[in-house]
Every structure is written in C-alpha cells, then in structure tokens.
Structure 1
Amino acid sequence: MPVTLPDLDYPHDGLEPYISKEIMCLHHLKHHQAYVTAYNAAEEALKKACTPKEQIRLQAAINFNGGGHINHSLFWKNLAPKASGKCEPCGGLKKAIVDGFGSVENFKKEFNDTTIAIQGSGWGWLVYNNKTKQIEITTTSNQDILIAKYCPIIGVDIWEHAFYLQYKNVKKDYLDAIWNVINFEEAERRYQCAASGKPECGSL
C-alpha cells in the first residue's frame, strides 16, 4: 500500500519560537512529502523491474526514502507546543533518565553532545534497548532506521533542513531549543510500551 504524509497534531506555527513556522512548513510539507512521493514511486517501479541490477538500485531508494518517512513520522509525534504541558519528563521514563544519567539536565547534555558529533546528516535517539532493558543514547546516519533491538523513545532530526533557516550552522542552539517542545508525554508512552515488551512500541 502507498504511504501518505501524516497530519501534525499541532499547527505549523505551534512550536514557535523554538521551531519557526517557515521551517515546519518546509520540513513537513516539502521534505517529508518528497520522501513519501519517492518511496511510493520506487515501490511501484520495483513491481516492474526486470533485472537484479534494477531491483538493487530501487531497493536503495526504498530504504532511503522509507527511512525518511518512518523517522519523520516518529519525529512529528515527538514534538508538542510548550503551552500544552507535555514538555517535561514524567513517570517511569523520568526515573529511568535520572537512574541512567544522574539528572534530566545531564541526560539532555549527553544527548546533545552525542547528536552534535554526527558528521553530516543523521538523527539522535533516546532508545530502549530490548536486550539490556535499559535506555541509552544512539545515533543513525542519513535516513537509516534504528536496528531491531532498539525501540525509539525520542528522536531528533539533525539534518540541516530541520534547523538551518532559523539557527544557521549553530547546531547547539537548535539542540538546546528543541527540548522546549519535546513531547515527553509521547516519550513516556513509548517507554512504557517498550518496557512492557510490546513489539509495537515504535510503530507509526
């Protein structure tokens, strides 16, 4: 089945002043839509591909654009207007963060330091490790998706299209600002789902 661009749970200006309306419109309606369009086109072309070389080439396009769709769909759910009251850690996730990193502030600093070190484009993640049963920070390159042992709790897009119009080349300012609109209510839901062993923890 073709994938479609998901609606946001807030207006495009709902994350201001931390993420501008201009960025959100471009990011959601243009960049994410481009991944959706390219993924659907590659899937359709794969049905008609006649040679292994064609199939391999198309599979690379499917992986890249499918990853772009999956990662962005998770990202939009990760965000919420500051005024919504969802932007503070809560519940079991807050306890896991304090146990694992010493404090919420230490966690944010370690997350930002790890994410800002990505060379080129990619994503910073707080994940639940299904093997260790612990939360940890990891990164992925480009539009790679998380490997199977991880359930996404929080993901932050560090591609330039996510911040450049507002923060220019200062990634640190973007990463510092985004915590004002991280949806910790959604993060808590994902954490509880993952910790209970449910496979749908990171599903769209």
Structure 2
Amino acid sequence: MSFTLSPLSYSYEALEPYFDKETMEIHHTKHHQAYINNANNALKNLPEFASLSVNNLIQKLDQLPADKKTVLRNNAGGHANHSLFWKILKQDTTLKGELKHAIECDFGGVDTFIEMFEKAATTRFGSGWAWLVKKDSKLAVVSTANQDNPLMGEAISGTSGYPILGLDVWEHAYYLKYRNRRQDYIKSFWNVVNWDEVTARFKHT
C-alpha cells in the first residue's frame, strides 16, 4: 500500500483572504506531495510497515531499520501532519459545546487557550508545529520541531498526546502572503479553523 495525496474538500481559494490561493495550492500539491513521495520511496522493501496507516507508522518509528528512521520521521510525519491540517481548515464555524467547555475547564478560558497556542506557535524556533492535544482526558498546548507529531511520543517528538488541532509554522505555509510576519499568519488562523472537525476529533479520543 502506498500513501496518496487526498484532494481537499474545498477549493484552494476558499480560505481567502486569510490563507491565499497560491500558497494553498503550492503547499498541498508540492510540499505535501513531496513528503508522500519520499515516504513511499523509503517504505519500499518494508512491507510490514508499508501496510500501516500513516498515524500507526509514526507511532512505530523506533521499530524501523536504523537507516529509515530519520527519513520516515520527517516524511511520514509531514504526511500525517498535513493530512490533519487540511481537515481542520474551513471558514465560518464556531467553537461551542463540549470542546468549548473542555477548553474553558482545562485552560481557564478560551482567550487563555488562544494566548497559549499563539505563544507556542510564535516561539517555535525555526520550522515546526503548534498543537492542541488531548492527553489523559485533559487538553494541552504543545509544539514540535520540523515534521514531528505528538503521536511519535516523548522520546522522539519531546511531547505526546492525540492531536486535535495543529498549525503549520514552516515558512512555506505563509511566506508568500505574510512574508516574515509569522504572528499575523498565526492570528489569521482563527478565522479558518474548522471547529466542527476539531470537535469531532476531540470526541473521538
């Protein structure tokens, strides 16, 4: 089984003016596709791993042959991260219900959560991701470097938990529109979060 690039459920311009069409198209068809191509190439002659879903695979990195661990950490990680990212983007949805209540309980309020998430995204040095994860029935904000994912576990990614919301803070995600203004890109994110999908992920755990 090979990983494939799933089409988006919306057009590349659907997130304008916050996420621009050109960035979305390049990000999806070039960057994400490259992670998939590299991961598939690394999985050749590894049938016991090639049959796994990408989320299962990145939880088994310590079982891979030594010469495949880094390439699959980076590229299967990139595939997993972006597959989630596209799903949690949509305009005109509202944070409400069980997830809003959990955020208020675990962070002391929605504004506090947003402040913590923006800080995690802003202060991630170089390339990486900011995440909202569910761990031990509690929500937490964490960040990871490069294409690491919390599902990889503490020993590899430096954190753990089930990711329900993620923001890509690699420059390729925002530089065409925002240039070096990462903070502006981060703040624009709240206009395109698909809270219905994030809530569904929250309830799934």
User: Structure 2-normalised TM-score?
Assistant: 0.84
Aligned equivalent of 1:136: 140
Aligned equivalent of 1:65: 75
- Look up the SS of the partner of 1:155 in the other structure: strand
Where do 1:13-162 residues align within 5 Å?
Answer: 13-44=13-44, 55-80=65-90, 82=91, 85-86=92-93, 88-129=94-135, 131=136, 133-147=137-151, 148=153, 149-162=160-173
Over alpha carbons, which structure has the higher Rg? Answer: 1
Aligned equivalent of 2:202: 191
Q: Deviations over 1:169-194 (max 9, x none)?
A: 11110000011000100111011111
Q: Deviations over 1:78-136 (max 9, x none)?
A: 101x2xx32x211111011112223222211110012111111110000101x2x1101
- What root-mean-square deviation, in Å, do the aligned CA atoms of Structure 1 and Structure 2 show? 1.4
Runs of 4+ in 1 over 2 A off after TM superposition: 55-59, 100-103
> Separation in 2 of the partners of 1:46 and 1:121?
29
Paired residue total: 181
Percent identity (aligned): 42
> Separation in 2 of the partners of 1:45 and 1:192?
37
Amino acid at match of 2:105: D
Q: CA deviation at 1:46?
A: 5.2
- Look up the SS of the partner of 1:44 in the other structure: coil
User: Structure 1-normalised TM-score?
Assistant: 0.84
Structure 2 residues not aligned, in runs of 5+ = 48-64, 154-159
Aligned equivalent of 1:197: none
Structure 1 residues not aligned, in runs of 5+ = 48-54, 195-204
